[in-house]
Amino acid sequence: MAAYGLYTHIQSNRRRSVALLIGLFFLVYVLVFAGALLAEAMSIPDAPLDYLVQAAIHDLRIAAPVATVGTILWVLIAYKFHQRMIDAVTGAHQVTRAEEPRLYNLLENLCISRGITMPTLRIAEDDALNAFATGLNEKQYSITVTRGLLGALDGAEMEAVLGHELTHIRNGDVRMLVIAVVIAGVISFFGEMVFRLFFQGARFGGFGGRRSSDNDRKGGGGAAIAIVIALVLIVVAWLLSIVIRFALSRRREYLADAGAVELTKNPDAMISALRKIENRGELATANSSVMEMCVDNPRQGFSDIFATHPSVDARVEALVKFAGGHDPGPIALEPPADEQGQIEGEAPQGPWSTGPQPGNAAQAPGSQGPWGAAPASDKPFLPNRSPLDDSSGGSTPR
């Protein structure tokens, strides 16, 4: 099989995918322990800290099988239905060769040239300029292109974008991103559930308010400390789920750009595509998880610290430096055809224009002009009679 990209990066992504799945279960168990510690602290407010910790560990052992089964079910549902969920968010639909022959042929040619199993092709009905790949295995891999991108890029630029997404698929970036999104969803769900139970319990006076025995109560007063520890664990688990997504190296975008150049042998096309996509890629209905899969994820200001994509300038600079491309600088795009027609239709009319004049909407189409009615036909103007004709009885000037 022909190889492209960096094998070390591919192997690293495989190891990270396994580590992410293991980390998912670890974070779920941390949340379950934190929830149990909160419940024990609210139920036995006068118990010492060590007693509450031991009780929470005992609760964790009981709840761990349920949490494990729930997490596995969540992962299986995401494995089976994640594409449908993404399509529902972005409004994407699968297309065939008959529907989009140019796009389909570009993707097929790239796959044939490198012996790659062709992913399914989808179009998102969005005016934004972006594309992304999804899937967890060869049978699920899919590339989605927005309608706006399809209309803005020429054939070479579109081929470069498709090569970029194919490189993400082959390098394992897509699988790792989907797993990271699943982890974030699970942790957010469990964290929110624990918080809701805690605040509802605090609102209604705790979880029963039972008292510990005299032996257990020696050195009591650990409930407040236990609550603080539990809340810290929940926050840390939630932050780790976010950090996992941000820790996905920005290097993957540089490698995908390089893979696109290797597939197409055209660095200028990749650079031009990035310049056209720059600051035009925000999908109206997509959440942050979907935007992290896109060719470009626009970020501004402080949020750039947590961006999963390097800036377009940095990516273009790398292509110019290492692939020999030429940077045209920011590219201004023409408005869509319908908007262009509307703009042209609103151009100001002159006194000899054939169009209706402002403030004179009732005027007939053939009556414009300062010297009376204009001819209705497209023939040149001719007088009704010759100026030398004296049939009317008048005298002809000598």
- Return the number of other C-beta atoms located less than 10 Å from residue 112's C-beta: 10
Task: List, in order, residues 6 or more apart from 18 with CB less than 8 Å away.
Answer: none
Q: How confident is the model at residue 5 (pLDDT cuts 50, 70, 90)?
A: very low
CA angle 123, 164, 255 (to 5 degrees): 150
Residue 378, pLDDT score = 53
Residue 25, pLDDT score = 85
Q: Which residue has the higher pLDDT, 380 or 172?
A: 172
Q: Which residue has the higher pLDDT, 217 or 180?
A: 180
Residue 284, pLDDT score = 85
Q: How confident is the model at residue 251 (pLDDT cuts 50, 70, 90)?
A: confident
Q: How confident is the model at residue 362 (pLDDT cuts 50, 70, 90)?
A: very low
For range 213-231, the mean pLDDT? 71
CA neighbor of 199 nearest in space, from 173, 171, 227, 223: 227
Distance CA(16)–CA(19), nearest Å, equals 5
2 has a pLDDT exceeding 70: no
Burial (CB count within 10 angstroms: exposed 0-12, middle 13-18, buried 19+), residue 370: exposed
233 has a pLDDT exceeding 70: yes
Q: Which residue has the higher pLDDT, 175 or 327?
A: 327
Copy the structure tokens of residue 344.
């042209």
Q: How confident is the model at residue 9 (pLDDT cuts 50, 70, 90)?
A: low
217 has a pLDDT exceeding 90: no
The pTM score is: 0.72
For range 231-250, the mean pLDDT? 77
Residue 241, pLDDT score = 76
For range 133-151, the mean pLDDT? 93
C-alpha distances out from residue 364 to 346, 349, 374, 375, Å: 19, 15, 10, 11
- Provide DSSP, 145-205: EEHHHHHHS-HHHHHHHHHHHHHHHHHTHHHHHHHHHHHHHHHHHHHHHHHHHHHHHHHTT
Q: Which residue has the higher pLDDT, 397 or 309?
A: 309
Active site includes 339?
no
The three-state (H, E, C) secondary structure of 57-108, written as one string = HHHHHHHHHHHHHHHHHHHHHHHHHHHHHHHHHHCEEECCCCCCHHHHHHHH
For range 39-65, the mean pLDDT? 90
CA neighbor of 262 nearest in space, from 1, 6, 9: 6
39 has a pLDDT exceeding 70: yes
From 40, 159, 165, 278, the catalytic residue: 165
* Full set of structural domains in the chain with CATH: 7-87+174-246 (no CATH), 92-169+250-323 (3.30.2010.10)
CA neighbor of 290 nearest in space, from 81, 144, 71: 144
Instruction: Give me the chain's average pLDDT, please.
Output: 79
Say if residues 330 and 322 touch (Cβ distance below 8 Å).
Answer: no
Q: Which helix (DSSP H) or strand (DSSP E) does residue 131 occupy? A: strand 131-134
Q: Which of the residue ranges 85-94, 240-249, 328-337, 387-396 has the most confident prediction, judged by mean pLDDT?
A: 85-94
Q: How confident is the model at residue 292 (pLDDT cuts 50, 70, 90)?
A: confident
